[in-house]
Amino acid sequence: MTQKPRGRQFFANPGPTNIPDSVLRALDRPSIDFQDPEFVAVYDEAFAGVKRVLRTAQSLFMYNASGHGAWEASLTNLFSPGEKILVLETGFFSDDWAAMGRGFGLEVEVLAADRRRGVDIAALRAVLAADTGHAIAGVCVVHNETATGLMIPLPEVRAAIDACAHPALFLVDTISSLGSLEFRMDDWGVDCVVGGSQKGLMLPTGMSFTGVSEKGMQAHRVAGLKRYYFDWTLMEKRAQKSFIGTLPVNMFYGLRESVRLLEEEGLDNVVSRHHRLAEATRRAVKVWSGNNGPQLFCVSPDRYSDSVTAILMPEGYDAEAVRRCCRWKFNVSLGGGLGALGGKVFRIGHLGDLNEPMLLGALAAVEMALRIEGIPHGRGGVDAAMDYLAE
Ligand code: PLP
Tell me how many degrees the CA angle 222-85-15 measures, rounded to the nearest 5: 105
Which atom of ligand 1 is closest in space to residue 68's alpha carbon?
16
The mean pLDDT of 169-189, rounded to a whole number, is 98
Beta bridge partners of 211: 60, 193
3-57: per-residue pLDDT in tens? 778 888 999 999 999 999 999 999 999 999 999 999 999 999 999 999 999 999 9
Cα(343) to ligand 1 centroid in Å equals 20
At 359 the pLDDT is: 98
Burial class (CB in 10 A: 0-12, 13-18, 19+), 231: middle
CB atoms < 10 A from the CB of 288, how many? 26
User: Considering only CA atoms, which residue is closest to atom 2 of ligand 1?
Assistant: 175
In single-letter form, the type of residue at position 70 comes to A
282-327: per-residue pLDDT in tens? 999 999 999 999 999 999 999 999 999 999 999 999 999 999 999 9
Cα(67) to ligand 1 centroid in Å equals 5
Mutate which of 140, 142, 146, 210 for ligand 1 pocket (most atoms within 8 A of beta carbon): 146
Which atom of ligand 1 is closest in space to residue 146's alpha carbon?
5
236-271: per-residue pLDDT in tens? 998 777 889 899 999 999 999 999 999 999 999 999
Which residues, 6+ apart, have CB-to-CB distance to 316 below 8 Å? none
DSSP string, 5-49: PPS--EEE-SSS-PPPHHHHHHH-S----TTSHHHHHHHHHHHHH
Residue 1 has pLDDT above 60, yes or no: no
Tell me the average pLDDT of the chain: 97
- Find the length of the chain: 391
Can you say whether residue 109 is alpha, beta or left, with left for phi > 0 and alpha for psi between -120 and 50 degrees? beta
CA distance 161 to 386: 41
Tell me how many degrees the CA angle 268-273-278 measures, rounded to the nearest 5: 125
Cα(68) to ligand 1 centroid in Å equals 7
At 312 the pLDDT is: 98
Classified as helix, coil or strand, 129 is: helix
In single-letter form, the type of residue at position 158 comes to R
Residue 387 has pLDDT above 90, yes or no: yes
142-153: per-residue pLDDT in tens? 999 999 999 999
Q: Where are the domains of the chain?
A: 21-263, 266-390
CA distance 37 to 32: 10
User: Considering only CA atoms, which residue is closest to atom 12 of ligand 1?
Assistant: 67
334-343: per-residue pLDDT in tens? 999 999 999 9
Cα(69) to ligand 1 centroid in Å equals 10
Nearest CA-CA partner of 143 in 108, 119, 160: 119
At 2 the pLDDT is: 56
Pocket of ligand 1 (CB under 6 A): 15, 66-68, 93, 142, 146, 173, 175-176, 196, 205
User: Considering only CA atoms, which residue is closest to atom 5 of ligand 1?
Assistant: 146
Whole-number CA gyration radius for the chain: 21
The mean pLDDT of 196-203, rounded to a whole number, is 98
Cα(286) to ligand 1 centroid in Å equals 27
Taking CA atoms, 150 is separated from 181, 286, 308, 385, in Å, by: 12, 16, 8, 20
CA distance 196 to 179: 10
User: Considering only CA atoms, which residue is closest to atom 14 of ligand 1?
Assistant: 67
CA distance 255 to 64: 13
- Quickly name the fold that domain 21-263 has: Aspartate Aminotransferase; domain 2 (3.40.640)
CB atoms < 10 A from the CB of 339, how many? 12
Give the rounded distance of the alpha carbon of 229 from its chain centre.
23
Half-sphere exposure of 199 (CA within 13 A, CB side): 27
Which atom of ligand 1 is closest in space to residue 142's alpha carbon?
3
- Could you confirm whether domain 266-390 is CATH 3.90.1150.10? yes
At 389 the pLDDT is: 98
User: Is pLDDT larger for residue 243 or for residue 168?
Assistant: 168
Instruction: Sheet with 10-12: list strands edge to edge.
Output: 10-12, 332-336, 345-349, 308-312, 295-296
Buried b / exposed e over 184-205, threshold 16 CB at 10 Å, is ebeebbbbbbbbbbbbbbbbbe
47-86: per-residue pLDDT in tens? 999 999 999 999 999 999 999 999 999 999 999 999 999 9
Cα(99) to ligand 1 centroid in Å equals 14
